Structure 1
Amino acid sequence: MEKDSKVYVAGHRGMVGSAIIRQLKAIGYNNIITRSRHELDLCSQGAVAEFFQKEKPDVVYLAAAKVGGIHANNSFPAQFIYENLMIESNIIHQAYLNGVQKLLFLGSSCIYPKMATQPMVESELLNGYLEPTNEPYAIAKIAGIKLCESYNRQYGVDYRSAMPTNLYGTNDNFHPENSHVIPAMMRRFHEAVENGSSEVIIWGSGKPMREFLHVDDMAAASIYICHLERKVYDEFTDERCSHINVGTGIDCTIKELAETLARVTNFQGELSFDTSKPDGTPRKLMQVDRLKKLGWTAGIQLEEGLKQTYEWFKENALDLREA
């Protein structure tokens, strides 16, 4: 990849896409293409075809997706499967038709079975039933992996897939109901401190274990994976298990996360756990040996990453209050 290569980042306003752009610019890439959802409807086959025919990008980072936490996945399953299937199908197919040789598709750790062996190795894919609360989203992401694999096999292109663990950081979605666990809890703790509340309620039992990766680490890993020579990448993958896990390889309980967030936000009250809310998958820890062997490891520790994220949240809290 030359520094003047035309790079299209789909989903550039999202948490991951914006982080990828920041890091691409930092290392000297200056020919980056973006389109907002108002400028380009990624669910429209015709609009995506017209865009690729006009722009002819050299490289594509496919970070666009409809995302959300347990509540959002439970409430809008049809939207989650439809929109994600359409976005990835349109972009991957038009990338092929318009001569894009290198593409990176970003998935999710929810592709693995609910009761997958821990830590989850890439070969666990399709080895069991998915977690019901996010099954539609997970099926769409699995389809994206298989699209990349199939286009590689049939057309000889170089389309890769990276499966991140739970992400957090700058530009996260802090909606009180439709966000993921870290931004939802961080907002709850922040508002409790502001309001002088003596209690913060945590959804679920607090027992499930989760792994968290700062979005800046995810962006660095994405660029690293995309830049690898094909022969190096292929040495650690195969055409039917071509995706790579991206994470820290370290997890914690939701209770431990809540306690860390209490320290970060300086909340002095009590933690209560609402067991009427679903826990989701008992544990989701990624095995990241494949990525380590390729030469990359995460660098941002959880508490430090949460402190950085909280500073960003406070600077943008007024803008996010109605989000």
Structure 2
Amino acid sequence: MLHLRLIAPAEKTDDVVRLIEGTIGTAHLCVLPGAARDPAGDVVMCDVAREAGETLLGGLRRLGLDTSGSIAVESIDLALSKRAEKAEEEAPGEPADAVLWEELTEATHEESTLSVTYLAFLTLATMIAACGVVLDNSILIVGAMAVGPEFGPLAGISTAAVQRQPRLALRSAIALLVGFVVAMAVTVAFSLFMDAVGLFTKEQLEGERPQTGFVYAPDWFSFVVAVLAGAAGTLSLTSAKSGALVGVAISVTTVPAAANAAVALSYGDTVQTWGSTEQLLLNLFGIVLAGTATLLAQKYFWARQHERLRRRARA
């Protein structure tokens, strides 16, 4: 269930209440006349099944409540109410399958912002992966994959493509490009330092690496895994199952490939540099492609569900 706290101008309160009452899957409607001060108006609260949330939010936005008042949405972890159970039964579909596009856009907007924290995480992840590829240590590679925050901008690009939001696409692309350029540049300097103190050697990089040699040898399996991970990551975002993102992060070789390219570049090894760069680009493309296709499929599915919901409401 979702909890909505709305601030509505007095002249729009009746329209808001009628919309909530006419939406299948709502419960616990409360109206507090004149309770809001900034902005001034009435406070309207209700709970709605996640499956019906997008329909209700769309109606509230059409009423202009997002500009003349306020719309706040919270997830309810526990609701002990027969009315809530009935509302969820009435709403079509399953809560885990529901997509809240506003929530997804907001989440990807935040995750795709180029910030000091984002750059720090991506740079540290790339440096950890650099240690992993030189030492041929798969544990370090997995750890670097888990630390890397690059899935946020990738999801932002997919969301922007489906929702036709060029600003989000540009913001995500800038975060992705600048992030990897900065992370790889710092990792090159880190590799030179590690070589100077005798902790990295060219022989280690170019020797037999059974655990990490795949990061500079792109093939069709790399693309297939990236596509599968992109679909899984997108589903984890839309269904609010963030725990699955950890599994997605350690399924693709974006950060390890960037790290290997940086270390190889510091030693002048163009073969590994280009191979790792191809691996990186192949993974990025596969994730974006799968994420976009997954969101398009979900959008089509929920458009049909919402149309069915509107027909039931009119009946």
Normalising by structure 1, we get a TM-score of: 0.27
Instruction: Give the TM-score normalised by structure 2.
Output: 0.28
Q: Of Structure 1 and Structure 2, which has the larger fraction of its residues in strand?
A: 1
Bigger helix fraction: 2
